[in-house]
Structure 1
Amino acid sequence: MRYLTLVSAALASHCVLAGDSPWYEQGNFRPVQRLEFTLSNSLDFDRQNASVVIRRADFPVPDVHEMWVTVVDPNLPPYEGPSEELLVVQGGHQLRAESNGHAAFHQMDDLDKDGIWDELFFQTDIEANSEKTIYIYLGQNIRGWNEHYTHANIGSYARHLMPFWESENVGWKIWFANAVDVYAKRRPMLMSHRLYMENLDGYGVSAIDRDLGSDIQRVAGSFGGGAICLFEDPEKPGAVSMPRFTPTQSELPFRSSWNAGQISDTRYAYDVVVNGPVRSMIRIKGMNWNSGNGFYEYEQTYTVFAKQSYTASKVEFTTFSPEVD
């Protein structure tokens, strides 16, 4: 995954920079500190909804609550403010009238689940071979609903647990415990919760609402939209080892695309790392994988981004013990 380059960051007080670019305000939120970040796009084409990640280790103020962070693009037109009717529905957390820029949807994600944020994530547009300035204002700000453009969850579906993750354009779920199943929508929307909450078939769901789309491929014994494998025999480059097709699984008294027992064969555990609003992440642990030529365990993370039609995958083997002659 290619992210925008973070060039520089500086913390300054409002009084010191009073003569610089105007400061963002929103309702009664009038911050007195801000961080200035310069983002660089060195590519020769424009980037739309490009992902920006700022790690806590690179953040000048690492000990900060998420309610004290407001990401602002000073070049975007400010929000004019809500109507009285909208305020009745959305209440006190509704965004108020802005000046000098527009707040960007962002999230501060705790990836290792230790209760401390690890990455600040947001998206922005930036032209080819250019730089742009983003401000992060510090100060308690309770206003601004973040619209969800991604979703992730673990659901019971077709009698077994599986992870779901999706953008408004494309969704993914794990079938046969290891292989990715892909479904597409005819209109941008989040809808995977309907699949597992209403027991809707991935192929038949379009009969209910055509805009919901459909599964667009068959997994069966394949990799589907992607799966982990190993090439263990250099003499047989066409032979692959997969976690769900093992010597133990092959001894089942019936034909199956599933693993055997969770104690005797490969087993899996799923976790939701992040559930939106602008990126969602699923983590999969594969354990007790005996390929017949080695023993392996791994952690795999799938990430989906707002306004995008792809998912990113990262795999780390926690145990890698091939048999060596």
Structure 2
Amino acid sequence: MKHSFWLVGSAVFLACACSPETKEEKPLQFTVTNQAALALTDKPVTLKRGDFPDLEGHSGKLPLVISAGDTIATQWDDTDGDGKWDELFFVTDLAANDTKTYTVGWAEEAPEFAPRTSVRFGKREGADIPLHPAMGDTLPADGLPKSVGYQPYQTDGPTWENDKVGFRHYFDGRNAKDLFGKKTSAMSPEDVGISSEGAVEDNYHVMHDWGRDILAVGNSVGLGGVALMIDGEPARLGVTVNDAVNNVEESVFQIVKEGPVRSVIQYNYNNWQTHERSYDVQEVSTIWPGMYAYKNAVSVEGLQGDETLLVGLVNINNDREISEIEVNDEWVVLLTHDQQSYEKEWWLGMALILPKAVYEGYTEAPEEGPLSKTYLAKLAVENGQPVEYFAAAGWELSDEQFTDREYFTGYITNLVQQLSAKVAVNWEANGE
């Protein structure tokens, strides 16, 4: 399901912002300071509900973020499900060691902004029933395409994107993550993966104005998909396209938030049975504008202490070496670069940005089998504790300079530094 956001003239919001309760009252302001000697592009800024002085005194109005007379694209997210927003989120550009001042305005209802992130998910209840958009679904173990006789999901599962790149997740039991290359910053159409009759259709492996699916996934877990190492053997979370029954009793997907500058989706895999053990796994995928990447957070319940979390980097069409790069004290990168798209037609760089504190090297899966032809990053994992990482990709038709390995490596290195950079928020209540 996708919601449209359109940019509305900032004068409307300035009118909201410049209506203080008394003429003498100065507007509420805050500053954001870049603490790094590095220019930041689309740097996320999160303000908590409790950060706003006298929020309740504004009669339930929403705070707006205004800079140099323009209202910044913002969203108000309810992250704890209590029915009230608890985070205000926006992205901003900051020069090295720069400080920007923002003014808080107030609006009766949420404005609409041009979308820079999106989620698309559609399902059908029968082979002859048209697809319809949905906010989530629950997949039982016997609900796989091989069992029910049809593919229930648009694009085999949800897609999510920003203005740079798109991804999709095989929610049909395979739980691999695929890649959409984009040639435009606009969001891709809602009917990707749907025929004119409303049926599931693979119409995204051909070129469109917006781009196309560009990655061969096979029996890997794609770009950023997860597995576990148990007894020295990689165990697949889910099954392959040839299986009729899942090894996960119940898979639950939901769109947590789709907004103009941040979209969040979540998967819960309940009672994953493997190696005579049972696990519950949760994934939360987040995307914001400006980066050729998404963030993933994975937690596992039921660990016995001898498991290792595995994160995949598909290796089907890659004939060149993998690079292991320690960028800084926080992050390690695994990177490949080759004509590793479908039919080896285009240059494509892919990378995993992994937390150095839990990184334990990488291995390769077998050439054949239910989990194969992929590099697997090894990460230490504790019961119920989320592990966060990023998966990134640069396609030559998104930026022709991605044909060059050195350029792609430089982009990823800069992205890591951007992610590591800290910003400080300071409030100046009533202009003081």
TM-score (norm 2): 0.53
Give the match's secondary structure for 2:190: helix
The amino acid that maps onto 1:36 is: Q
C-alpha distance in 1 between matches for 2:305 and 2:13: 63
Instruction: Answer whether contact 1:29 1:141 (CA < 8 A) is retained.
Output: no
Give 1:232 deviation, angstroms. 2.4
Q: Quick one: percent identity of the two aligned structures? A: 26
> Which residue does the alignment assign to 1:147?
114
> Which residue does the alignment assign to 2:426?
none
Give the match's secondary structure for 1:244: coil
Match of residue 290, structure 2, among 307, 310, 316: 307
Match of residue 172, structure 1, among 150, 167, 174: 167
Shift in CA distance, 189/28, structure 1 to aligned 2, threshold 3 Å: closer
Shift in CA distance, 196/25, structure 1 to aligned 2, threshold 3 Å: closer
Shift in CA distance, 43/221, structure 1 to aligned 2, threshold 3 Å: same
> Which residue does the alignment assign to 1:107?
75
> Which residue does the alignment assign to 2:259?
276
Give the match's secondary structure for 2:28: strand
C-alpha distance in 2 between matches for 1:56 and 1:143: 15
Q: Does 1:41 pair with 2:34?
A: yes
Give 1:274 deviation, angstroms. 0.8
Q: Does 1:201 pair with 2:202?
A: yes
In the TM superposition, what are the counterparts of 1:108-147 in structure 2 within 5 Å? 108-137=76-105, 139-141=106-108, 144-147=111-114
Instruction: Answer whether contact 1:244 1:259 (CA < 8 A) is retained.
Output: no
The amino acid that maps onto 1:201 is: D
C-alpha distance in 1 between matches for 2:224 and 2:213: 15
Match of residue 241, structure 2, among 257, 265, 268: 257
> Which residue does the alignment assign to 2:271?
288
In the TM superposition, what are the counterparts of 1:2-17 in structure 2 within 5 Å? none
In the TM superposition, what are the counterparts of 1:171-250 in structure 2 within 5 Å? 171-175=166-170, 176-177=172-173, 178-191=175-188, 193-198=190-195, 199=200, 201=202, 203-206=204-207, 209=208, 211-233=209-231, 236=232, 239-245=233-239
The amino acid that maps onto 1:159 is: Q
Shift in CA distance, 204/229, structure 1 to aligned 2, threshold 3 Å: closer
Give 1:265 deviation, angstroms. 3.6
> Which residue does the alignment assign to 2:359?
none
C-alpha distance in 1 between matches for 2:88 and 2:100: 18
Give 1:191 deviation, angstroms. 1.3
> Which residue does the alignment assign to 2:303?
321
C-alpha distance in 1 between matches for 2:177 and 2:41: 26
C-alpha distance in 1 between matches for 2:305 and 2:71: 54
Instruction: Answer whether contact 1:105 1:278 (CA < 8 A) is retained.
Output: yes
Shift in CA distance, 197/66, structure 1 to aligned 2, threshold 3 Å: farther
C-alpha distance in 1 between matches for 2:59 and 2:159: 29
C-alpha distance in 2 between matches for 1:44 and 1:190: 32
The amino acid that maps onto 2:29 is: E
Shift in CA distance, 268/143, structure 1 to aligned 2, threshold 3 Å: closer
C-alpha distance in 2 between matches for 1:52 and 1:66: 22
Instruction: Answer whether contact 1:293 1:323 (CA < 8 A) is retained.
Output: no
> Which residue does the alignment assign to 2:18?
30
Give 1:242 deviation, angstroms. 2.0
CA displacement 1:180-200 (0-9 Å, x = unmatched): 111111122211522144445
C-alpha distance in 2 between matches for 1:115 and 1:151: 22
Instruction: Answer whether contact 2:227 2:236 (CA < 8 A) is retained.
Output: yes
Instruction: Answer whether contact 1:244 1:266 (CA < 8 A) is retained.
Output: no
Unpaired runs of 5+ in structure 1? 1-23, 75-100, 246-255
CA displacement 1:11-65 (0-9 Å, x = unmatched): xxxxxxxxxxxxx973475232643222121222111111111122444345577
Shift in CA distance, 36/167, structure 1 to aligned 2, threshold 3 Å: same
TM-score (norm 1): 0.69
The amino acid that maps onto 1:133 is: T
Instruction: Answer whether contact 2:162 2:287 (CA < 8 A) is retained.
Output: yes
CA displacement 1:113-146 (0-9 Å, x = unmatched): 2211121100111111222222222x33558531
How many pairs are equivalent? 255
Q: CA RMSD of the aligned region, Å?
A: 2.8
C-alpha distance in 1 between matches for 2:60 and 2:292: 28
Instruction: Answer whether contact 1:164 1:192 (CA < 8 A) is retained.
Output: no
Per mean C-alpha deviation after superposition, the further-off stretch among 221-230 and 31-40 is 31-40
The amino acid that maps onto 1:164 is: T
Give the match's secondary structure for 2:256: strand
Unpaired runs of 5+ in structure 2? 1-11, 21-25, 124-130, 132-149, 307-432
Task: Specify the structure having the higher radius of gyration (Cα).
Answer: 1
Give the match's secondary structure for 2:121: strand
Shift in CA distance, 56/232, structure 1 to aligned 2, threshold 3 Å: farther
